[in-house]
Amino acid sequence: MTDIIAGVQIPETSAVTEATDFLREKTNPLIFHHSRRVFLFASLHARELDLRPDPELLYISAMFHDAGLLIPFSDTQQRFELDGADHARKFLRDRGFSPSAAEVAWTAIALHTTPGLPGRMGPETAATNYGVLTDALGWGLDRLDGDQVDEIVATHPRGEFKKEFLQAFVDGLRDRPDTTYGTINADVLEHFVPGFRRTSMVERIIAAPWPR
């Protein structure tokens, strides 16, 4: 049965089905519903802007984009975005996708929190970022059809999204605070974690082992 939400068709492929089942099992309702909304909003923005992303790769990118908050890919201390990107790349390569296709998803996920860059890159990277911005910050909501937005939220409820989403960042990052250097993720720890203090680029340059 074809799954269509707000005029957006969920791709009917085995990889999409497996990704959906994997994220539903390994994450939680907050991240699962957020990720599906990101795909739907990303698809609507892509349609409006004539971006033409590959629907399957866009779906995988959206579904894995926050996976690193809950299921770190390895013991390596790295940004949670890279954990999610590495998960997605391995997921795709294990299922026979080409290196270039896997790299598309990797890039979309790795850059999804980086301001300014995704919109200048490929359609999957741009659309993923737009979907994230819409669901997290309300970016572009005024350009979307209200009935479609209502249908998306009815299908994938937000609940106490603001509170729970910020807490997910705290829980996912408090044990690896150094990975937030130079990112918006440091904003969350600075706000919620007592004693956390971000290190600035100025401090790192001054502390560099050069005489001047």
Average pLDDT, the chain: 96
Contacts of 103 (CB under 8 A, 6+ apart): 89
Spatial CA neighbour of 172 closest among 37, 78, 89: 78
Predicted pLDDT of residue 154: 98
Contacts of 30 (CB under 8 A, 6+ apart): 159, 161, 164, 165, 168
**pLDDT class of 150 with cuts at 50, 70, 90:** very high
Which DSSP state fits 207?
T
Residue 1 has pLDDT above 70, yes or no: no
Residue 75 has pLDDT above 80, yes or no: no
Residue pointed to by tokens 């600035």:
200
Contacts of 187 (CB under 8 A, 6+ apart): none
Tell me how far apart the alpha carbons of residues 137 and 112 are, in angstroms, rounded to a whole number: 13
DSSP string, 34-57: HHHHHHHHHHHHHHHHT----HHH
**pLDDT class of 105 with cuts at 50, 70, 90:** very high
Tell me the percentage of the chain whose pLDDT exceeds 70: 100
Residue 211 has pLDDT above 70, yes or no: yes
Residue 148 has pLDDT above 80, yes or no: yes
**pLDDT class of 73 with cuts at 50, 70, 90:** confident
Residue 13 has pLDDT above 80, yes or no: yes
Rounded mean pLDDT of 157-181? Answer: 96
Highest mean pLDDT among 63-72, 74-83, 161-170: 161-170
Tell me how far apart the alpha carbons of residues 22 and 42 are, in angstroms, rounded to a whole number: 21
Q: Which domains, and CATH codes, for the chain?
A: 4-159 (1.10.3210)
Q: Is 192 helix (H, G, I), strand (E, B) or coil?
A: helix
